[in-house]
Structure formats: structure tokens, C-alpha cells
Amino acid sequence: MPWPRYSIDAATTISTAMSKQLQAALTDAIQALAEAQGATVAAISAQADLMGLGCVVAEASDHGRTTPPLDVVAGVVALFLEEAADSLEENPHAGTEPNRAAAARAALGLEPGTQGKPLRGRRGQPGRIGTIARWLIYEPASLFKPRQDGRSPFDALIEDIAEHLLRREAAFRVGEQRLAQRARRPPLETAMRVDWLARFERHYCIWSYVAGVRNDLGMAVASLRDDAPDDTDHFVRKSLYYHALFLTELERFTRERGGLWVLPNPTAEQTVADAVWMIRKPTPLTEIDESILRLAVIGWDEIATFVQATHTDTALRRLVDMWHEWIVSCACDPTQQPQPECRVHQCVGWAQSFMTTLDEQWDLLADWYDVPRPQSAVVPTQLAPHMAPPLTKDLSR
């Protein structure tokens, strides 16, 4: 799951993406307020698009610390609307005409003398149109007449208010994204002072051997299905070699680092810790067998000498026989999903989940990558028919 990356273009991108739908929704909502009694708390409460704005909710709830009552949220909307109106003029409260800020306040029923009044006057009661027209220096009759750009002066006023609110929301969302981005990049300055690179160098050492186990088990199973006993024998021994290296590196990691998996995400930490245990659990090896394997790779630390020893050393020969028998127990159909009860594929599955989880955590920290991780071009089992070196036979003769 790649996390979104913040860029300086984010504000533009966000406001462009938001502009069409949200701007239309905000314009409609503000228009509805203006057409009725103005931006009263009761009227605002009925406008879901205004009440649901991220910047409004954050302000009203003190950034999520409290759960404000609706009238408090509506009050914040009213304040933001007033601010939007005032933004239309450099000196919004100068008494000189024209003054778009004063006209906008009148359109929202926020200008003194316009509160609670209808837009259009009724018999015996003047509306707000006269005040708006006066601040704009228009004849009241021409306030709703389309101009050359197709918008009436009144529509243009409403859209300008909506535009300000939209930009405020965009700025809020960009700020949120930036905060989230910072939170996602655990720096050296945390109390833990985690040196991620050193950590991951150790993690990837184990990863390499786990990958060897996964690939060679897959190849051993594939060659069984292809009825290629030489290949099967080769990959049985090679997968045992990688399993021995995995066990050795894991033991060293446990001794030197306390076996402590420190990753940016605690769920991933648990997955990885579970996986290293679950990779070992379905195998036929006891703890003593594992210890024999670790001792064996100290003496025969190259694959050639190790494979040779699997033919000559009594203790290793027994382990290879067990390992072979275990791999042969897989009866999964290669064209189907592996059977859940297959212990070989349980091991393969946990190895895969260990590798994927670690890769994801690395990608998270390695923030210089600006594209998603590519898929590997190598599919081990597809290469299997071309990878049957006569290593085992030559050395065993």
C-alpha cells in the first residue's frame, strides 16, 4: 500500500480536484442561505456541505479534541462566511461605495440592519436587495440580470464567497496531509532514536535467506509435479541449506538484537514476528534438529560443501531424508490455490508474508522512491526446467 506523498503542488492539485463538485455544493449552500433569511445559525445547521467542511469541523472541535454541539459548528460556519465576505475588499469596513465586502455581508444577512430579513422585500418590510445593490452601486432591478459573462452581479458575489471558503478548505486539507506525512516519517529525533538503516540491513539479511527457502521449496514442489527426481533432490538440499542459513541468522539476530523487530508500524512488527515463528512451525525439524543445522552451516558454509555434506554426514543425511519426506507430503494441485492444511505451503505462505511485510515497511521509510515497488521479473518456478545443475551428483560421487 503506497502512501500518498506530499508535494508543493498538492494545494493546487487538491483545490483543482475539489473545485468542481465542492465549489458547486458550496455555491448552492451559500445561495440558499442568501435567498432565505441569511446566514442564521438555524439556517446554516441545515446546510450539510457547509457543516461538514474539514476546516469547520476542525475549528469547532479543537482539532478533534471535543465533540461540539451543532449550533457551535454553525457558529463557526457563520464566522468563516463573514471572513469570506470581508476578504472581497481590502478595507471591508470602509464606509465608501462600492464595497463588495459590505454587499456580501448584506447578502448573507450579516451586515447591520440586514439580520433575519428576507432577500426580497415584502409588503411593509424591506428586503436586503436594496442594501446589496447600494453597496455594489447597482440598480436593485439589475442585480439579478445576467451580465456579459452570463452571471448576474448577485451570482458573482455568491461565487466569490464560495471561492474563498473553498480555498480555506484546500489549505486545511493540505495542512492535514503535511501533518500526516510528518507523522509517517519517524525521524532519528524520536525518543527511540531508531537507526532504521542498520535495522533494515539486519532484517534484509534474514529476508534473503527466507527468500531462498521460499523459492527453493517452490521449485522442489514444481519439479515433483514435473516428475524430475534429480531436480527435486537438488532443490530439497538447497532449500534445506537456505533454511539452515535462515535459522543461523535468526539466532544471531536474537542474540545480538534481542530478536526485537522494530518497524514503523506495530501491526507489521507483529506480522513479521509471527511469520519468523510460523515459517519454522510447519517443518518436521525439532529444536535439536535446527541446532544441528546451524552447526552444519558453520562447518560447511558454502552451498557446494553443504550439499556434499548432506550426502556424507550421518546427521545431515537424516535431516535431508526428513526434509525430503516433508516436501513430498505436499499434494496441492499447482493449478489451484494451495490447500490450507499443506504444511509445505504453510511454510511458503509465511515466508512470503514475511518478505512482503518487510518490503512494505522499507518502502514506507525509503521516501526517496517516488514510484511504487515494481514486480520482480523473475518467477522461480518458471525457470526451474533450465536450472537443474548437476551439482549434487558431481559432488556426491
Binding site for Zn ion (CB under 5 A): 330, 332, 338, 342, 344-345
The half-sphere exposure of 317 on its side-chain side, counting CA atoms within 13 A, is 5
Angle between helices 129-136 and 153-183 (to 10 degrees): 80
| 164, three cell numbers | 474563498
Least Å distance between CB 335 and Zn ion?
A: 13
- Exposed/middle/buried for residue 150 (C-beta within 10 Å: 0-12, 13-18, 19+): exposed
Q: Which is nearer to Zn ion, 336 or 376 (CB)?
A: 336
Q: Which is nearer to Zn ion, 30 or 327 (CB)?
A: 327
Cα separation, 120 vs 13, whole angstroms: 39
Q: Which is nearer to Zn ion, 273 or 332 (CB)?
A: 332
Residue holding cell 508535494?
7
| 67, three cell numbers | 465533540
Q: Are the beta carbons of 224 and 330 closer than 8 angstroms?
A: yes
Q: Which is nearer to Zn ion, 132 or 330 (CB)?
A: 330
Least Å distance between CB 224 and Zn ion?
A: 10
Cα separation, 389 vs 150, whole angstroms: 78
Q: Which is nearer to Zn ion, 32 or 332 (CB)?
A: 332
Least Å distance between CB 9 and Zn ion?
A: 49
Residue holding cell 521460499?
214
- What residue type is assigned to position 267 of the chain? T
Q: Which is nearer to Zn ion, 32 or 342 (CB)?
A: 342
Least Å distance between CB 320 and Zn ion?
A: 19
Least Å distance between CB 215 and Zn ion?
A: 15
Q: Which is nearer to Zn ion, 230 or 341 (CB)?
A: 341
The region, left, alpha or beta by phi > 0 then psi within -120 to 50, assigned to residue 261 is beta
Least Å distance between CB 349 and Zn ion?
A: 10
Cα separation, 238 vs 395, whole angstroms: 14
Cα separation, 241 vs 297, whole angstroms: 8
Q: Which is nearer to Zn ion, 207 or 326 (CB)?
A: 326
- Exposed/middle/buried for residue 26 (C-beta within 10 Å: 0-12, 13-18, 19+): buried
| 174, three cell numbers | 493540505
DSSP 208-245: HHHHHHHHHHHHHHHHHHTT-HHHHHHHHHHHHHHHHH
Least Å distance between CB 232 and Zn ion?
A: 14
Least Å distance between CB 276 and Zn ion?
A: 21
Q: Which is nearer to Zn ion, 121 or 338 (CB)?
A: 338
Cα separation, 98 vs 338, whole angstroms: 77
Least Å distance between CB 280 and Zn ion?
A: 17
Least Å distance between CB 345 and Zn ion?
A: 4
Q: Which is nearer to Zn ion, 336 or 375 (CB)?
A: 336
Contacts (Cβ under 8 Å, ≥6 apart) of 279: 210, 213, 246, 347, 350, 351, 354
Mapping DSSP onto H, E and C, the string for 134-170 reads: HHHCCCHHHCCCCCCCCCCHHHHHHHHHHHHHHHHHH
Q: Which is nearer to Zn ion, 107 or 285 (CB)?
A: 285
Least Å distance between CB 381 and Zn ion?
A: 13
